[in-house]
Amino acid sequence: MTAPAPKRLLWLLAPVAAFAATLALLTAVQGGGGAAPSLSSVDADIDAARVQGASIAELQETLRDDPSNVAAYTALGASYLQRARETSDPAYYSRAEQAFDAARRLSPTDADAVIGLGTLALARHDFSRGLELGLEAEPLAPESPRPLAVLADAQIELGRYADAARTLDRMVALKPNLTSYARISYFRELHGDLTGAAKAMALAVSAGSGSLENVAYVQTLLGNLELQRGHVAAARAAYRQALAGLPTYLPADAGLARIDASAGRTAAAIERYRGVVARRPLPEYAIALAEAELAGGRDRAARSDLGLVRAEAQLLRAAGVNVDVEISLFEADHGDPAEAIRLGERALAAAPSVRSEDALGWALTRSGDPAAGLEHARRALRLGSADPSFLYHAGVAARESGHDALGRMWLERALEHRVALSPYHAQRAEEALR
């Protein structure tokens, strides 16, 4: 197990910690000579056992009684991250940060605290900070795959793909399971190996997890990969499996909406997307909804939904989340190309990944500089990605900068994967081919 194993005697010993603490206190109060023995490593084990499976309220209570319980702070931080995901309320990020910071103040070398902060940095898209913390965590938890997960995610988003490959290789050698399989799948996907990516993701699904949400997550990603491969029935089955396990899992709902949209069932897609946005008004869902509406000729509704995007982006920024790449693409497609360039440049400077290259390239192309856009688009495709959105952006840049054959090839490839494009962009890719 990667976490301290929730197996047998740890639980059984859990209450001992309280008694050990009481005993130490009694000894001190009574001025007794017999000091409690040094049990620090055992205490840490027991603290970890006590907090496993506890709710946020239980952890807060534990911390009121025992404000030096490092494991309770790190578990509390992780619980807040989980709540952030369940509620989409990014305010939980700062609570998570406070909990992890408190743990680190108490125990600067606590691996869980550093890993938690690293994970938080990644969730906020501060990939440089994620890398620092991943590197810091590694010697604190040697022979554990968990710091390597933080490290690999940061390396991928910073464009350090060769480093990421080595990290992932070490991680999967230590622990082949859902966490390492899912990351390898993404790495393969980035390199255009959709078949290999789907195979790795199927391994992740089969391995499963104790968390329904983790399972739904990998099932949904498998659905997305199947969609990119044009296997619509397999994609639908994967999304439905995710929803069978966790009926409220919105990313899978959004996947079904994508299938509806690409099949021309625009009204059904809009209805489904609307349900998703109503529960979780994230920029990516609001954009998908608006683009379905635009494709269906409902321009007024689309304008109103696009208006949501900037407001949501502000909320996320206020919680410390960097949304530069997402909003750069949004501004390039539906807003202000100059702002798109500004955000794209900032994103690329912070994280020189293929995603950032794609965003800046598209911003330049949309603002009338397709030659500069093409430069970045080439770099976005340098790993061999089959992402239809990258290919569409590259194709338009090439066509508009006079590289007709190249542009045609990219656009045709983008349209081979058209079910994974929103119909709005698929229509534009077709127009660009004419």
Partner 1 sequence: MRKLSIGAALVAAAIAVPLSIGSSHREAPNIALDPTADNTDTYAFTAKDAPGSLTVVANWIPGEVPANGPNFFRFDDRARYYIHIDNDGDGREDVSYRFVFNSRVNPDSYLQAFPGVSSIDDPKLYQAQTYDIIRETHKANGKEKEKRIANNLPAAPSYAGPKTFPNYGNVAVGAIRNLKSGGKVFAGQRDDPFFVDLGAIFDAANLRAGTGNQGEGKDDLSGMSTHSIVLQVPESKVTKNHRAVSGPDADNAVVGVWSTTERKKIEVTNADFDSNKKSKGKWVQVSRLGNPLVNEVVIPAGKKDKFNRTRPHNDAANYGQYVVEPELAKILNALYDIHAPETDRTDIVQALLQGLPGLNQQTDDPLPVDTLKLNLGVPPAETENRFGVIGGDNAGFPNGRRLGDDVVDIELQVVAGILKGNAVPLGDGVDQNDKPFFDVFPYLPGPDSGFDSDPSSRTEPPHDPVPAGGGS
Rule CB under 8 A: which of 121-180 touch partner 1?
122-125, 141, 143-146, 149-150, 153, 156-157, 162, 165-166, 168-169, 172-179
User: What DSSP letter does each residue of 331-394 carry, written as one string?
Assistant: HHHHS-HHHHHHHHHHHHHH--SHHHHHHHHHHHHHTT-HHHHHHHHHHHTTT----HHHHHHH
- Which region, left, alpha or beta, applies to residue 427 given φ > 0 means left and ψ of -120 to 50 means alpha? alpha
- Given a contact cutoff of 8 angstroms between Cβ atoms, the answer to whether 245 and 216 are in contact is yes
Q: Which is nearer to partner 1, 111 or 419 (CB)?
A: 111
Rule CB under 8 A: which of 264-323 touch partner 1?
282-284, 312, 316, 321, 323
Spatial CA neighbour of 198 closest among 232, 216, 222: 222
- Given a contact cutoff of 8 angstroms between Cβ atoms, the answer to whether 235 and 226 are in contact is yes
Neighbour-count burial of 408, counting CB atoms closer than 10 A to its CB (0-12 exposed, 13-18 middle, 19+ buried): middle
Which of 17-25, 102-110, 259-267, 289-297 is the region at the interface with partner 1 (rule: CB under 8 A)? 17-25
Encoding tokens for residue 392? 């569409």
Counting contacts by CB under 8 A, is residue 85 touching partner 1?
Answer: yes
* Smallest distance from partner 1 to CB 373, Å: 20
DSSP letter for 297, please: T
From residue 212 to residue 241, the character string flagging contacts with partner 1 as x (rule: CB under 8 A) and all else as - is xxxx-xx--x---------------x--xx
Q: Which is nearer to partner 1, 95 or 403 (CB)?
A: 95
Rule CB under 8 A: which of 345-404 touch partner 1?
355
Counting contacts by CB under 8 A, is residue 104 touching partner 1?
Answer: no
* Smallest distance from partner 1 to CB 105, Å: 20
Rule CB under 8 A: which of 37-56 touch partner 1?
37, 39, 41-42, 44-45, 48, 51-55
Site size toward partner 1, by CB under 8 A: 112
Q: Contacting partner 1 (CB under 8 A), which of 68, 109, 128, 206?
A: 206
Query: How far are the Cα atoms of 30, 333, 359, 399 from residue 364, in angstroms, in the given order?
Result: 74, 11, 9, 14
Beta-strand ranges (E) seen in 50-129 are none
* Smallest distance from partner 1 to CB 79, Å: 5
Q: Contacting partner 1 (CB under 8 A), which of 95, 104, 160, 191?
A: 191
Q: Which is nearer to partner 1, 58 or 339 (CB)?
A: 58
